[in-house]
């Protein structure tokens, strides 16, 4: 078994002895080259940090205000202009309205240009809608048995992606509705939208088998397309040629049925068996009798193979089918962050967010052409796929995922698994990566590369490991210590952020060095552990190599990052309240620079979200005068931690009324934060 990253972190701690980690924390040397106007890198984030809170609203520093930009069910088209009735949502209605449970955000200039222009009063906003939860839908329903197949179809139309035109009027950003679908650039892409498969796995037999089932359920699908749409879209990325990359993550939850119905398939095909076990499908969430046929696992056993991809969407062309980029590998993708290499090739970083899965990188064969946008479509269909292997000495390599390398590794490991071609490697990327010795990690979520103003990757890359709750991490190497007994079970409830530095400051490199950017936790803790809401102890020390990785405000379970133009890092959390019960999920910010004379980097709490919501998709407008983020699933749990998925059916009141207040039903929403004096966020 390949050593877990936590073993390597702890080993590295011993290997380095007393060497201070601070230089590794410092992004400043890289930040200066791209700071606006040649200004030096930000050494501070200037706002008054806010206190921890469980308030059911958005809490901000003095001098900052927020407003809702758009929320679940708001119309994208004038054809949906009737007042929103959450109880009456149908597939047809939802296809004209903003989706649910928003996660990733990306902004595009109204007219494509490269490099992206800074001053924009009209933009295209792309938004992921990760999943729909029954307990937060259809407020009038009082028992799960009241759900119908029409309800389920509406929920499957509430996920996917929205493209929304927005404009700034008198300093305030607002949504621009279009007259009707196809008239303007607003768009909904759902779990039913026809898509194309491109790259080496486009004709993989599993996809071909699934396509038959999907298209049979959606008559009229254009030739060459598959009516599987996209869902489980968590984070993502955007390309220098102005396309949106949405990352399919927990697709297993959309397939209904009894696990036993796959028994014969699994027994006859060990590769399929690995796939079903690794991705953990089917799940018990969707009632089989109500699910559309293509989402019933017994009728479409290879259905899960059309998900787990990075999907490229052209926000400038609402008629273009989304493209599933199979060259980037299939996994539970959190993100797809692009950076240009020194020679113009495109690197894409991706985290596979499941316990003990890996971090991947794709590097295109051809270079980006800034003078010819159309020439760049297809760049991500041809290139090299890698997975990260971390070494104890602080080095690491990007292992090249090819059929030759994977088959040699399988033979070496005594495994009967074999890979027919590159398409098979991409389809079964997890299996190939594991055989080749990729390093298991604590749920790698967002991966963000430092870029200059021309999209060139500068070398440093931050990898967020949100947490790992499995007690099976009972190995002495775990950097998290619930006790000083190294044999005691160890978990990593607070997560950490890793930094890698690509060799030669080139994102196309196949070697890197690595260290710890931050250990999630409480820099002011007086004990090794803190009791969580469910009384489980969480290790909350933020020290690494004997030095605190940061000072200031505590945070846990980092998920998404935004790195601004001066390389200040804005960190959004998902599960902070599970570790620090007195504070809902939040956004904290830290300066790009830290040096030994000033002590550890200072983290400041910038924003706290409402009850039961994760905060995700942190982003700024190009002029950095507006901060946007997603408030996802407000009311998903109450302040005491009770999950609404079960509490609702016992008659519990909904735990949040965000964003509309009063007695309203909660809705996921995108919010905009601005400074009251109109200045740059955090200056």
Residue placing its CB nearer to ligand FEO in the complex, 355 or 481: 355
Residue placing its CB nearer to ligand FEO in the complex, 249 or 502: 249
How far out from the chain centre does Cα 196 lie?
A: 22
Residue 557 CB, shortest distance to ligand FEO, in Å, is 10
Residue 308 CB, shortest distance to Ca ion, in Å, is 15
Residue 358 CB, shortest distance to ligand FEO, in Å, is 14
Residue 25 CB, shortest distance to Ca ion, in Å, is 24
Site size with ligand FEO, rule: CB under 6 A: 7
How many other CB atoms are found less than 10 A from the CB of residue 92? 11
Residue 649 CB, shortest distance to ligand FEO, in Å, is 24
Q: Does 234 bind ligand FEO (CB under 6 A)?
A: yes
Single residue of 130, 314, 482, 553 touching ligand FEO by CB under 6 A: 130
Distance (Å, whole) CA 359 – CA 357: 7
Distance (Å, whole) CA 393 – CA 410: 26
Q: Supply the Cα-derived Rg of the chain in whole angstroms.
A: 23
Residue placing its CB nearer to Ca ion in the complex, 2 or 333: 333
Residue 384 touches which of ligand FEO, Ca ion, none (CB < 5 to 8 A by kind)? none
Q: Where are the beta strands (DSSP E) in 144-200?
A: 160-169, 172-176, 187-189, 196-198
11-70 residues in contact with Ca ion (CB under 5 A) are: none
Residue 136 CB, shortest distance to Ca ion, in Å, is 12
Q: How far is CA 196 from CA 201, 202, 207, in A?
A: 12, 8, 11
Q: How far is CA 309 from CA 247, 251, 502, 515, in A?
A: 6, 10, 25, 29
In contact, 444 and 465? CB cutoff 8 Å:
yes
Distance (Å, whole) CA 562 – CA 446: 9
From residue 342 to residue 361, the character string flagging contacts with ligand FEO as x (rule: CB under 6 A) and all else as - is -----------x--------
From residue 292 to residue 331, the character string flagging contacts with ligand FEO as x (rule: CB under 6 A) and all else as - is ----------------------------------------
Beta bridge partner(s), residue 548: 543
Distance (Å, whole) CA 25 – CA 32: 15
Q: Which residue has the tokens 């938004």?
A: 127
571-610 residues in contact with ligand FEO (CB under 6 A) are: none
Residue closest to 248 by CA, chosen among 227, 230, 261 = 230
Beta bridge partner(s), residue 502: 512
Q: Does 334 bind ligand FEO (CB under 6 A)?
A: yes
Site size with Ca ion, rule: CB under 5 A: 5
Q: How far is CA 315 from CA 129, 161, 186, 243, 560, in A?
A: 16, 11, 9, 6, 22
Q: Where are the beta strands (DSSP E) in 208-251?
A: 233-238, 244-248
Q: Does 249 bind ligand FEO (CB under 6 A)?
A: yes
Residue placing its CB nearer to ligand FEO in the complex, 208 or 469: 469
In contact, 253 and 635? CB cutoff 8 Å:
no
From residue 407 to residue 446, the character string flagging contacts with ligand FEO as x (rule: CB under 6 A) and all else as - is --------------------------------------x-
Residue 162, classed as helix, strand or coil, is strand
Distance (Å, whole) CA 674 – CA 632: 20
Residue placing its CB nearer to Ca ion in the complex, 240 or 636: 636
Beta bridge partner(s), residue 398: 388
Distance (Å, whole) CA 282 – CA 275: 11
First to last CA, the chain: 48
547-566 residues in contact with Ca ion (CB under 5 A) are: 559
Which window, 45-53, 212-220, 228-236, 595-603, contacts Ca ion (CB under 5 A)? 228-236
Residue 352 touches which of Ca ion, ligand FEO, none (CB < 5 to 8 A by kind)? none
Residue 570 CB, shortest distance to ligand FEO, in Å, is 17
Residue 681 touches which of ligand FEO, Ca ion, none (CB < 5 to 8 A by kind)? none
76-135 residues in contact with Ca ion (CB under 5 A) are: 130
Residue 249 touches which of ligand FEO, Ca ion, none (CB < 5 to 8 A by kind)? ligand FEO
231-250 residues in contact with Ca ion (CB under 5 A) are: 234
Residue 278, classed as helix, strand or coil, is helix
Q: Does 448 bind ligand FEO (CB under 6 A)?
A: no
Residue placing its CB nearer to ligand FEO in the complex, 336 or 593: 336
Residues that bind Ca ion (CB under 5 A): 130, 234, 445, 559, 574
Residues that bind ligand FEO (CB under 6 A): 130, 234, 249, 334, 353, 445, 559
């Amino acid at each position: 078994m390949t050593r877990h990253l936590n073993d390597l972190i702890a080993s590295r701690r011993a290997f380095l002895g007393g060497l201070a980690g601070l230089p590794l924390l410092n992004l400043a040397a890289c930040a200066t080259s791209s700071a606006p106007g040649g200004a030096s890198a930000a050494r501070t984030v200037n706002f008054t940090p806010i206190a921890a809170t469980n308030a059911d609203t958005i809490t901000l520093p003095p001098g900052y205000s927020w407003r809702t930009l758009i929320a679940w069910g708001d119309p994208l088209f004038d054809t949906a202009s009737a007042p929103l009735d959450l109880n009456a949502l149908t597939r047809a209605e939802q296809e004209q309205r903003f989706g649910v449970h928003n996660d990733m955000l990306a902004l595009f200039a109204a007219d494509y240009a490269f490099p992206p222009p800074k001053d924009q009063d009209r933009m295209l906003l792309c938004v992921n809608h990760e999943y729909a939860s029954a307990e937060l839908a259809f407020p009038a329903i009082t028992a799960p048995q009241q759900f119908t197949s029409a309800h389920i179809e509406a929920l499957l139309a509430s996920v996917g992606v929205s493209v929304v035109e927005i404009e700034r009027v008198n300093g305030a950003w607002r949504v621009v509705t279009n007259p009707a679908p196809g008239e303007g650039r607003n768009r909904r892409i759902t779990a039913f939208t026809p898509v194309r498969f491109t790259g080496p796995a486009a004709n993989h037999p599993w996809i071909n088998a699934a396509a038959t089932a999907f298209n049979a359920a959606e008559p009229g699908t254009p030739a060459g397309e598959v009516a599987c749409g996209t869902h489980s879209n968590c984070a993502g990325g955007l390309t220098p040629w102005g396309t949106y990359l949405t990352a399919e993550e927990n697709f297993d939850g959309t397939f209904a049925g009894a696990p036993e119905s796959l028994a014969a398939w699994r027994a006859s095909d060990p590769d399929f068996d690995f796939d079903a076990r690794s991705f953990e499908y089917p799940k018990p969430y969707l009632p089989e009798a109500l699910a559309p046929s293509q989402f019933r696992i017994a009728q479409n056993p290879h259905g899960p193979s059309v998900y787990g991809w990075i999907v490229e969407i052209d926000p400038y062309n609402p008629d273009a089918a989304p493209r599933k980029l199979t060259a980037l590998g299939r996994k539970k993708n959190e993100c797809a962050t692009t950076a240009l290499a020194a020679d113009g090739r495109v690197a894409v970083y991706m985290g596979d967010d499941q316990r003990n899965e890996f971090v991947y990188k794709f590097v295109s064969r051809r270079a980006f052409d800034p003078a010819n946008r159309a020439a760049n479509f297809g760049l991500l269909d041809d290139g090299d796929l890698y997975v990260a292997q971390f070494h104890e000495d602080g080095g690491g390599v990007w292992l090249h995922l090819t059929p030759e390398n994977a088959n040699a590794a399988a033979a070496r490991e005594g495994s009967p698994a074999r890979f027919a071609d590159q398409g098979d490697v991409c389809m079964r990327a997890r299996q190939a990566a594991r055989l080749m010795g990729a390093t298991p990690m604590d749920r790698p979520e967002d991966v963000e590369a430092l870029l200059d103003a021309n999209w060139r990757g500068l070398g440093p890359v931050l990898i967020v490991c949100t947490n790992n709750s499995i007690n099976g991490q009972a190995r002495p190497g775990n950097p998290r210590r619930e006790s000083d007994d190294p044999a005691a079970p160890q978990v990593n409830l607070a997560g950490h952020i890793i930094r890698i530095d690509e060799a030669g400051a080139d994102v196309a490199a196949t070697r890197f060095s690595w260290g710890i950017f931050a250990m999630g936790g409480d820099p002011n803790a007086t004990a090794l552990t803190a009791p969580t809401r469910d009384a489980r102890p969480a290790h909350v020390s933020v020290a690494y190599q004997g030095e605190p990785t940061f000072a200031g405000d505590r945070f846990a379970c980092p998920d998404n990052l935004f790195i601004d133009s001066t390389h200040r890092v804005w960190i959004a959390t998902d599960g902070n309240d599970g570790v620090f019960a007195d504070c809902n999920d939040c956004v904290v910010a830290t300066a790009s620079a830290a040096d030994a004379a000033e002590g550890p980097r200072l983290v400041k709490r910038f924003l706290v979200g409402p009850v039961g919501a994760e905060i995700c998709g942190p982003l700024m407008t190009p002029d950095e005068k507006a901060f946007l983020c997603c408030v996802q699933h407000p009311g998903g749990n109450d302040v005491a931690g009770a999950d609404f998925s079960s509490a609702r059916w016992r008659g519990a009141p909904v735990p949040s009324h965000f964003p509309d207040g009063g007695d309203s039903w909660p809705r996921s929403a995108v919010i905009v934060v601005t400074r009251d004096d109109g200045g740059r966020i955090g200056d």
